[in-house]
Amino acid sequence: MISDLAPFFSPQGVAIIGASQDPQKLSHGILKNMTLFGYTGGIYPVNPKADQILGLPAYPDIATVPDPLDLAVVVLPASMTPSVLRACGERGIKAVIIISGGFKEVGGKGIELEEECRQIAKSYQMRLIGPNCVGTMDLSTGLNTTFIEGIPAKGAIGFVSQSGAVCGGVVDLIADKGIGFSHFASLGNELDVTETDMIAFFGDHPQVRVIAAYVEAIEDGERFMRVVSQVSKQKPVVLLKAGRTDAGAKAVSSHTGSMAGAYTAYRAAFKQSGVIEVEDIVSLFDVAWSLSCQPLPRGNRVAIFTNAGGPAALASDSLAANGFTLATIPPQKQAQLAEKLNPSAQVANPVDMLGGAEAHEFDHCFQVLLDEPGVDVFLPMLVPQSLVDPADIARSIVRNARLTEKTVLACMVGEQSLGEARAVLHTNGVPMSVYPDVPGKVLGAMQSYREWLSQSDSPPMAFSDIDRPAATERLAHAQQLTLGESETRPLMADYGLNLVSGGFATDADQAVEIAAEVGYPVVLKIVSPDILHKSDLGGIALNLATETELRSAVQTMRSRITTAMPKAAITGFLVQKMAPEGLEIIVGMQRDPAFGPLMMFGLGGVYVELFKDVGFGVAPMTRSQAQAMIAATKAGQLLAGFRGGPSYDVDAVIDAIGRLSQLALDHPTIAEAEINPLLVLPKGEGALVLDARMILSEK
């Protein structure tokens, strides 16, 4: 239950178990922080060797602590934690934060110790945060169970981090920036409470308008997507993922596996769930802060007015890179601007008021352009100089921002002289950046969220014309973990995928019989459990037009493969009808340990690994999600008819993605699967599976 997490932020009483009189101890810092920021509940240090700490009565054990008490913070050696948890359970405490380290992060006995704590908590229906964390903050209740120095300003950002060090660094980074937070939560090892739990809690919390998260790994990806998809429709979820490179990713044999690195599933899941992903800590809070205090841009047209042309040019580049344009200022508005600006001012967009621009000139620009329908966003910019007080400019920006419902972001390039200006702006809900490229990135994220909100909810693709029992039976009797085309084709057929006509032959005579049935010309393919990529070894012969050509190809292919791979077991050949003209693409699946089936689409044949132009999505997918996955690639542009070229059957590709997704969802033993190539025919004519393979997991 999400309400189970409320005591971590608004408890009636808090016990600090292991509180120390030594100012150098972390537990002393936690107790001190509990007294500094306005928390009005009970604060109970627990230490059998002390009568009082920081003027507060100390208690020998948790059993002697008076009511009200609904949160315990444990700061003791890891080995003592299980007995303390049992005592908390007997005391009736339902929420415990374990600050201590020495658990699974150290391996060995630490893993066993953490599991013991998990079972104890479960037996008492107790929720745990940590271990190996720095605690929680609530800027409204004044609760601070951390040992971090200082607190941020009060606001509407709920922040959750798997890293305690990141939490501490963030507080120090933004403590004097006026960026407002409602909650902080460091989760550490996530023995119990996870980032998904916390996002759900913040999603329901009325004081949280934006959720910001730092994530290293997600264990239950399917639940994460389900929860975040719902929460992100109500409030933005801005996330920074650590460990995004694919260094160390396990090499796999399929094209799909080679394209799908460790971070790929996260990126696809975030996109499908409405997560606003950022690339660094600074962007995390630039974006979250702007979303918490400014309306979303109604469109992509920005008006810049500035006292410095260079920074405005840099800002313009960033705007363009993030999908925004400079608004066109009508001639009559330009004339109005010129009336009260320096005669040498540039009144087209960007409006360059020159270096000595003062507050009244910023006022004038706002007043002329506030009601201009062709402007969606205002970006006033300033480079500090000795004749103008940046705080005066900030007050001008605030005054005018209050007069409009359009998005207003400020950029003041510098640092040393901008403290008061930043305070004025941030106290009044106008985000200020000090680098010209930041507003473009922020607006790009805000527009991305607006687009997410505009998407209609639709159910995932589902299919009734499948034979799941037949596929289950085939997989149960599979003789090896790697299934070539001959074993995979029947499974594809069970799930309604259209196959190019053909059959399996053990020798040339059977090959000729099949060719006569499907009609010449035909394709001949080697069938061997030891060969996945047939074309690499000359295991495919195309456009065989006669019986003579087919018999010769059987003999030549068998000889060539035997020479190249003497130990390869050749079980036979596939004979298939030569396919018509079309576009070859790949549709694949790799099962991700956190998120489940990760679907892949790209240009087919051997080109997929050459161009690495692929789109990914997590199953189950809606038709619109599959369409977006296709459209994000160059292959998608070709399907749509690039530069007057032929248009292909995109609906058939979406159908194939959905059916392969369903096959993977229904049968968890399938670790990887791919159709390569899927031949897409002209629009309205469908698509054909020309080749396919699978890799099963160990049973």
CB 85 within 8 A of CB 100: no
Q: Assign 260 a pLDDT band (cuts: 50, 70, 90).
A: very low
Give me the amino acid identity at 192: D
Listed in sequence order, the residues at least 6 apart from 429 whose beta carbon sits closer than 8 Å to its beta carbon are 293, 294, 401
Phi, psi angles (nearest 5°) of residue 371: -95, 10
The enclosing domain of 501 has a CATH number of 3.30.1490.20
In a domain, 269, yes or no: no
Distance, C-alpha 616 to centroid of its chain: 13
Same-domain status, 528 and 427: no
Same-domain status, 667 and 644: yes
CB 19 within 8 A of CB 30: yes
Rounded to 5 degrees, what angle do the CA atoms 636, 640, 642 make? 90
**What average pLDDT does range 264-274 have in this prediction?**
94
In a domain, 571, yes or no: yes
Q: Residue 479's pLDDT is what?
A: 87
Q: Assign 610 a pLDDT band (cuts: 50, 70, 90).
A: low
Listed in sequence order, the residues at least 6 apart from 120 whose beta carbon sits closer than 8 Å to its beta carbon are 82, 85, 86, 89, 126
Same-domain status, 303 and 437: yes
Same-domain status, 50 and 127: yes
Q: Residue 644's pLDDT is what?
A: 78
Rounded to 5 degrees, what angle do the CA atoms 296, 301, 303 make? 100
* E-assigned strand segments in 187-251: 210-215, 237-241
In a domain, 335, yes or no: yes
CB 653 within 8 A of CB 633: no
Same-domain status, 553 and 621: no
Q: Assign 16 a pLDDT band (cuts: 50, 70, 90).
A: very high
* H or E stretch covering 503: strand 502-505
Domain boundary among 133, 148, 163: 148
Rounded to 5 degrees, what angle do the CA atoms 31, 34, 38 make? 155
Q: Is the pLDDT assigned to residue 608 strictly greater than 70?
A: no
Q: Residue 347's pLDDT is what?
A: 95
Poorest-pLDDT segment among 73-82, 263-272, 527-536, 576-585 = 527-536
The enclosing domain of 625 has a CATH number of 3.30.470.20
Rounded to 5 degrees, what angle do the CA atoms 670, 675, 678 make? 160
In a domain, 170, yes or no: no
Residue 108 in tokens: 């060995």
Same-domain status, 534 and 448: no
Same-domain status, 484 and 573: yes
CA distance 391 to 397: 10
* E-assigned strand segments in 47-109: 52-53, 56-57, 71-74, 95-98
Q: Is the pLDDT assigned to residue 500 strictly greater than 50?
A: yes
Q: Residue 698's pLDDT is what?
A: 81
Same-domain status, 571 and 587: no
CA distance 369 to 596: 50
Same-domain status, 445 and 302: yes
Q: Is the pLDDT assigned to residue 340 strictly greater than 60?
A: yes
* H or E stretch covering 679: strand 670-680
CA distance 646 to 637: 11
Poorest-pLDDT segment among 66-80, 300-314, 594-608 = 594-608
Q: Is the pLDDT assigned to residue 592 strictly greater than 70?
A: yes
Q: Is the peptide bond before 131 cis (omega within 30 degrees of 0)?
A: yes
**What average pLDDT does range 162-177 have in this prediction?**
85
Domain boundary among 577, 593, 625: 577
Residue 354 in tokens: 């020159």
Residue 513 in tokens: 């019989």
Q: What is the pLDDT of residues 210-252, one digit of tens each?
A: 999 999 989 899 999 999 999 999 999 999 998 876 543 343 3
Q: List helix spans (H) across 10-108.
A: 26-36, 81-91
In a domain, 259, yes or no: no
Domain boundary among 545, 560, 577: 577
Q: Assign 450 a pLDDT band (cuts: 50, 70, 90).
A: very high
* Number of neighbours of residue 129 by Cβ within 10 angstroms: 29
CA distance 111 to 82: 13
Q: What is the pLDDT of residues 101-145, one digit of tens each?
A: 999 888 889 999 999 999 999 999 999 999 999 999 999 999 999
For the full predicted model, state whether its pTM sits above 0.75. yes
In a domain, 554, yes or no: yes
In a domain, 613, yes or no: yes
CA distance 186 to 195: 9
CA distance 83 to 561: 66
Distance, C-alpha 65 to centroid of its chain: 43
CA distance 521 to 52: 93
**What average pLDDT does range 6-24 have in this prediction?**
96
Poorest-pLDDT segment among 89-103, 328-342, 505-519, 601-615 = 601-615
Number of domains in the chain: 4
Same-domain status, 528 and 588: no
Return the closest-CA partner of residue 648 out of 629, 635, 633: 635
Poorest-pLDDT segment among 166-175, 423-432, 629-638 = 166-175
In a domain, 158, yes or no: no
Name the residue range of residue 559's domain.
Answer: 480-577
**What average pLDDT does range 644-666 have in this prediction?**
95
CA distance 65 to 77: 21
Q: Assign 531 a pLDDT band (cuts: 50, 70, 90).
A: confident
CA distance 83 to 88: 9
Q: Assign 253 a pLDDT band (cuts: 50, 70, 90).
A: very low
Q: Which residues pair with 673 in a beta bridge?
A: 589, 694
Same-domain status, 522 and 561: yes
Return the closest-CA partner of residue 609 out of 642, 593, 586, 579: 586
Q: What percent of the chain has pLDDT over 90?
A: 83
DSSP 8-state assignment for residue 684 = T
Same-domain status, 393 and 535: no
Q: What is the pLDDT of residues 43-73, one digit of tens each?
A: 999 999 999 999 999 999 999 999 999 999 9
Q: Residue 529's pLDDT is what?
A: 84
